[in-house]
């Protein structure tokens, strides 16, 4: 196995390059859909219907064998709200995505999206807060959707897959550090290889909002693959989703 290194800030990261023995290993792929959307697709100006997850999985496998039921996608389910056109479109797009994944033999694990009201206090942490205060606006209430339990489902499947010997290498496409305890257990107790797929996507308009791989996951996994924008262009579907569940040029 060949080792190369790179730097993320002041941290040196070692990357393992596959040899022929690793290419014969069985892999299972775990994609945290919501995490992937916010860290990657949103930065690229895409929704899930414009990304070819099947082609992406083949790329991640890198000539290795994908195990039976070894392509797994985790996401919160969208509910249609009466009179809400936006929710209707979101649900239609998710149905389109699920159909695509199921047709390509993906396992889809879902959780309910729960609505949560959040208050933003207008102070010096808010851009142009002084102008807002002059207008008498002291706080803003927003409604956000939160996933519940996706990280638990992914971690559980990771452990069960290791115990049942369903894979030799688990490829994790998630930057959720809550997965680290499960990753540690699978590596130490089951001697499985954990491959972390992270992303480095700058946000030129707001550098603080750039996507960067967390050092915690880099440190706790065996193989690290950090992808940039140019790596992802090949998976963009060059057609537009139609709300009638069709595509158009």
* Orientation angle between helical segments 53-61 and 85-103, nearest 10 degrees: 40
Residues with Cβ within 8 Å of residue 21, at least 6 apart in sequence: none
Tokens for 182, please give them. 């499960």
Q: What are phi and psi of 143, to 5 degrees?
A: -110, 125
What is the phi/psi pair of residue 29, to 5°?
-115, 125
List of domains in the chain: 2-111+148-248 (3.40.50.1010)
- 249 residues of the chain, pLDDT tens digit each: 444 555 455 444 545 555 555 667 999 999 999 999 999 999 999 999 999 999 999 999 999 999 999 999 999 887 766 667 777 888 889 999 999 999 999 999 998 755 555 677 878 777 777 887 888 887 776 655 555 679 999 999 999 999 999 999 999 999 999 999 999 999 999 999 999 999 999 988 888 889 999 999 999 999 999 999 999 999 999 865 555 444 433
Model's pTM, two decimal places? 0.78
Tokens 């208050």: give the residue.
Answer: 119
User: Which whole-number Å values give the CA distances from 137 to 63, 130, 143, 188, in the listed order?
Assistant: 57, 10, 18, 53
């Amino acid at each position: 196995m060949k080792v190369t290194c790179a730097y993320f800030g002041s941290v040196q990261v070692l990357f393992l390059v596959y040899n022929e023995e690793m290419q014969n290993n069985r892999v299972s792929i775990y994609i945290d859909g919501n995490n992937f959307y916010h860290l990657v697709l949103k930065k690229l100006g895409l929704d899930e219907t414009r990304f070819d997850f099947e082609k992406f999985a083949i790329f991640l496998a890198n000539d290795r064998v994908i195990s039976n039921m070894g392509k797994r996608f985790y996401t919160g389910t969208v509910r249609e709200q009466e009179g809400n056109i936006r929710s209707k479109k979101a649900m239609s797009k998710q149905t389109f995505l699920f159909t695509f994944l199921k047709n390509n033999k993906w396992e889809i694990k879902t959780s309910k999206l729960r609505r949560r009201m959040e208050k933003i206090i207008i102070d010096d942490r808010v851009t142009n807060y002084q102008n807002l205060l002059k207008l008498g606006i002291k706080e803003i209430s927003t409604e956000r959707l939160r996933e519940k339990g996706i990280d638990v489902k992914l971690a559980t499947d990771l452990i069960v897959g290791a115990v049942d010997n369903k894979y030799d290498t688990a490829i994790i496409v998630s930057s959720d550090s809550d997965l680290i305890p499960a990753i540690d257990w699978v590596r130490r107790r089951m001697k499985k290889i954990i491959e972390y797929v992270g992303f480095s996507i700058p946000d030129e308009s707001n550098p603080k909002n750039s996507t960067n791989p967390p050092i915690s996951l880099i440190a706790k996994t065996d193989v690290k693959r950090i992808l940039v924008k140019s790596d992802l262009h090949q998976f963009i579907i060059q057609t537009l989703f139609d709300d009638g569940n069709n595509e158009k040029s």
